[in-house]
């Protein structure tokens, strides 16, 4: 009896093993040797309606747990601006967090891995110590697709270092009105420049193989990320530059100005396209089936997936979310494949299930969306390599990437004025001057020079948000050891006149902002900055003004007071690049990718307009030659180390403080700069 039981048990075990083996063998979606399309169809044949709709959901990490990822088959997570594992989180912290969510997804019934997205729009900008590159408005002034491609590759490495596989970049908007709060995310007012800059996609995703069919997404391995062309389409043309507003333009204008960069993006294998909040002639883009499905998917043959913007589907109605089920039906039927919800996933899943069951959304539309999402996941190797490790953590803020960012900074600078007469240029400045005065709100402020989308969504002023080099630190590194540098943020005229300065450098600009937070109908500099320009330029014989901004700003009637003027845009963490060019280690080469207006009354005004009468035209930029034939990369001052500089108090205080002394560290707060900025 015992022998019979053993034989029987063995036979049953063999049968069960054979069945399990046959089932596994039949799961073609788990076999990397199978073609991608075969794997997708095999997996979809096993999915319930709820699992398919779960794949169409993208939620913020704060709304997710590993258990939720498992139970609801959520297709994607994201970090919104400033959504981090913890303050000053390390790359290892990010990897651990992403893997925790991923393990939840892998433990679901079918084990479909999720994809994690983040706004890496000028480097991996949510991450502490990451390299922050110049914003796109500056990169457009370089007009160097190969450099932008290298920036894309560096960004991809830093994103992958944190376990994240999906970057919501690049923005390929054509900003036609600088009053728009996202204008710095646009490379240019000219679609030709924006088209050239789509080469960043090849850096982010890898170079698409020559044999790849048009429109098929491509990601070239574990050091590359899924890219996202945004925001489809016409986001840079809204009335008066109001964010998320209406773009009023005829079909020819839309296709001549705002659409061309999408042709380039798709030809480079971009994997995803994000839909714009804005409307075209009154119709919400999130509801525009003719453009999203008819043109993007059918005419341009885009085979990746279309994703909504943050709560973009909700905003199909006014007020947003007023009729959510209707909005979901309109948006999904328009061609949106993945919905950035980003919080209430149960409401989303239940609503879409109900709409499908009542034939308001067809099953074929659901299958098309899920097929596109899964195709990207299979194509990028996510099923074979769903979990990240620590092998790339040293890529965060690496010296190689910082050197690249520094190169981008110096090439993006545009010299708008150099001397009050052409035969007496002011720049480049001598390094051996006896005494230099530096002033302004942006001279010693890392947050201001990085701008929005840096650690926090709206950005953050000060020197404590991340690691980098301020413009003041760059100046201190550039000048000779015997040169005295005096800094005061907001000096009065008497204070400046009281000393014999060889020349002054005033660094002023816009405070950080993002999206609608930056919409601005007057585009004037803050009053304190204007006073600093007047006080310094009126008292120092040679005065250089450096403007740190996300767009052209009003300069009249102050331009005549300036001996030299530099547009530095939003340079990011590597302020040393500004000093590299001011002091002649490199020459100025940048050319305006935007028209610099005289008055906001002229706006919108773009190159080619009949009423074109700019202060500085599109393509303008003076050039200088390097003053030395050999350029040595000097060590950069760390903001965490004391600076050897004299900090002069504003007029309501007395005395000087050596920033390297303990007394200065204790007294710095009464001057304006923080102790850390010392």
Predicted local distance difference test score (pLDDT) of residue 422: 78
Predicted local distance difference test score (pLDDT) of residue 652: 33
Mean pLDDT is lowest, of 192-201, 297-306, 432-441, 630-639, for 630-639
Sheet containing 414-418, strands listed edge to edge, beginning at the edge strand earlier in sequence:
414-418, 564-567, 543-548, 503-509, 435-439, 484-488, 646-648, 656-658
- The predicted model gives 537-566 an average pLDDT of 97
Model confidence at 499, in pLDDT bands (50, 70, 90)? Answer: confident
Check if 309 is active-site: yes
- The predicted model gives 112-135 an average pLDDT of 98
Residues 633 and 45: their CA atoms lie apart, in Å, by 58
- The predicted model gives 261-285 an average pLDDT of 98
Residues 667 and 73: their CA atoms lie apart, in Å, by 56
- The predicted model gives 563-567 an average pLDDT of 98
> What SS3 state is found at 610?
coil
Q: What is the mean pLDDT of the chain?
A: 91
Check if 93 is active-site: no
Residues 139 and 135: their CA atoms lie apart, in Å, by 7
Q: Where are the alpha helices (DSSP H) in 291-362?
A: 324-334, 345-357
438, β-bridge pairs: 487, 505
Predicted local distance difference test score (pLDDT) of residue 423: 84
Residue 348 has pLDDT above 60, yes or no: yes
- The predicted model gives 417-439 an average pLDDT of 94
Q: Give tens-digit pLDDT for 625-670.
A: 999 644 444 444 444 444 444 544 333 333 332 333 333 333 333 2
Torsional class of 82: left (φ above 0), alpha (ψ -120 to 50), beta (otherwise): left
Q: Give tens-digit pLDDT for 38-93.
A: 999 999 999 999 999 999 999 999 999 999 999 999 999 999 988 999 999 999 99
Predicted local distance difference test score (pLDDT) of residue 641: 45
Residues 448 and 526: their CA atoms lie apart, in Å, by 13
Residue 611 has pLDDT above 70, yes or no: yes
Model confidence at 208, in pLDDT bands (50, 70, 90)? Answer: very high
Predicted local distance difference test score (pLDDT) of residue 5: 52
Selecting among 144, 190, 243, 309, the annotated active-site residue is 309
Predicted local distance difference test score (pLDDT) of residue 18: 45
Mean pLDDT is lowest, of 280-284, 322-326, 419-423, 500-504, for 419-423
Model confidence at 220, in pLDDT bands (50, 70, 90)? Answer: very high
Selecting among 177, 515, 519, 574, the annotated active-site residue is 515
Residues 677 and 441: their CA atoms lie apart, in Å, by 12
Q: Give tens-digit pLDDT for 361-381.
A: 999 999 999 999 999 999 999
Predicted local distance difference test score (pLDDT) of residue 420: 85
- The predicted model gives 235-248 an average pLDDT of 98
Dmax (CA) for the chain in angstroms is 111
Contact 547, 440 (CB under 8 A): no
């Amino acid at each position: 009896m015992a022998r019979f039981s053993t034989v029987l048990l063995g036979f049953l075990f063999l049968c069960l093993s054979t069945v399990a083996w046959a089932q596994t063998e039949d799961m073609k979606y788990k076999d990397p040797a199978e073609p991608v399309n075969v794997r997708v169809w095999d997996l979809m044949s096993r999915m319930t309606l709820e699992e398919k709709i779960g794949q169409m959901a993208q939620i913020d990490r704060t709304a997710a747990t590993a258990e939720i990822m498992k139970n609801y088959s959520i297709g994607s997570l994201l970090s919104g601006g400033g959504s981090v594992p913890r303050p000053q989180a390390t790359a290892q912290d990010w990897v651990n967090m992403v893997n925790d969510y991923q393990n939840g997804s892998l433990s679901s019934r079918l084990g479909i891995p999720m994809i994690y997205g983040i706004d890496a729009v000028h480097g991996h900008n949510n991450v502490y110590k990451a390299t922050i590159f110049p914003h796109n408005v500056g990169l457009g002034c370089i007009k160097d697709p190969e450099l932008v491609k290298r920036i894309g590759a560096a960004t991809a490495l830093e994103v992958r270092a944190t376990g994240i596989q999906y970057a919501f970049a690049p923005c390929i908007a054509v900003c036609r009105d600088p009053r728009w709060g996202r204008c710095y995310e646009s490379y240019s007012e000219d679609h030709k420049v924006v088209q050239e800059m789509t080469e960043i996609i090849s850096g982010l995703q890898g170079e698409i193989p020559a044999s790849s069919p048009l429109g098929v997404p491509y990601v070239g391995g574990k050091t590359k990320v899924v890219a996202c062309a945004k925001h489809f389409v016409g986001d840079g043309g809204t009335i008066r530059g109001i964010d998320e507003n209406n773009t009023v333009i005829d079909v020819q204008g839309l296709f001549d100005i705002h659409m061309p960069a999408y042709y380039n993006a798709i030809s480079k294998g971009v994997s995803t396209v994000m839909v714009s909040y804005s409307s075209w002639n009154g119709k919400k883009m999130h509801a525009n089936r003719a453009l999203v499905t008819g043109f993007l998917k059918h005419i341009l043959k885009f085979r990746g997936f279309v994703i909504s913007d943050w709560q973009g589907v909700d905003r199909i109605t006014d007020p947003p979310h007023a009729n959510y089920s209707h909005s979901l039906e309109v948006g999904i039927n328009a061609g949106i494949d993945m919905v950035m919800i980003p919080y209430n996933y149960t409401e989303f899943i239940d609503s879409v299930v109900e709409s499908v069951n009542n034939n308001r959304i067809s099953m074929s539309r659901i299958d098309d969306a899920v097929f596109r999402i899964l195709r990207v996941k299979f194509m990028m190797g996510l099923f074979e390599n769903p979990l990240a490790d620590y092998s790339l953590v040293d890529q965060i803020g690496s010296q190689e990437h910082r050197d690249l960012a520094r190169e981008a900074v110096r090439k993006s600078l545009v010299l708008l004025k150099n001397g009050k007469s052409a035969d007496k240029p002011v720049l480049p400045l001598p390094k051996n001057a006896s005494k230099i005065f530096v002033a302004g709100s942006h001279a010693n402020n890392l947050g201001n020079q990085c701008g929005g989308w840096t650690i926090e969504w709206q950005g953050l002023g000060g020197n404590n948000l991340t690691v980098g080099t301020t413009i003041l630190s760059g100046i201190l590194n550039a000048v000779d050891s015997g040169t005295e540098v005096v800094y005061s943020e907001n000096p009065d005229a008497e204070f400046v006149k009281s000393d014999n300065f060889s020349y002054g450098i005033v660094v002023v600009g816009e405070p950080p902002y993002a999206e609608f937070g930056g919409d601005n109908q007057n585009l004037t500099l803050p009053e304190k900055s204007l006073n600093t320009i007047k006080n310094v330029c009126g008292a120092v014989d040679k005065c250089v003004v450096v403007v740190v901004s996300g767009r052209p700003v009003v300069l009249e009637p102050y331009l005549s007071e300036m001996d030299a003027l530099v547009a530095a845009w939003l340079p990011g963490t590597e302020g040393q690049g500004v000093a590299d060019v001011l002091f002649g280690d490199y020459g100025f080469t940048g050319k305006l990718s935007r028209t610099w207006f005289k008055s906001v009354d002229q706006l919108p005004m773009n190159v080619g307009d009949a009423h074109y009468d700019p202060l500085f035209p599109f393509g303008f930029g003076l050039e200088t030659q390097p003053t030395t034939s050999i350029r040595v990369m000097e060590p950069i001052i760390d903001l965490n180390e004391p600076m050897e500089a004299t900090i002069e108090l504003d007029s309501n205080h007395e005395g000087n403080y050596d920033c390297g002394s303990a007394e200065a560290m204790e007294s710095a707060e009464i001057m304006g700069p923080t102790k850390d900025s010392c």
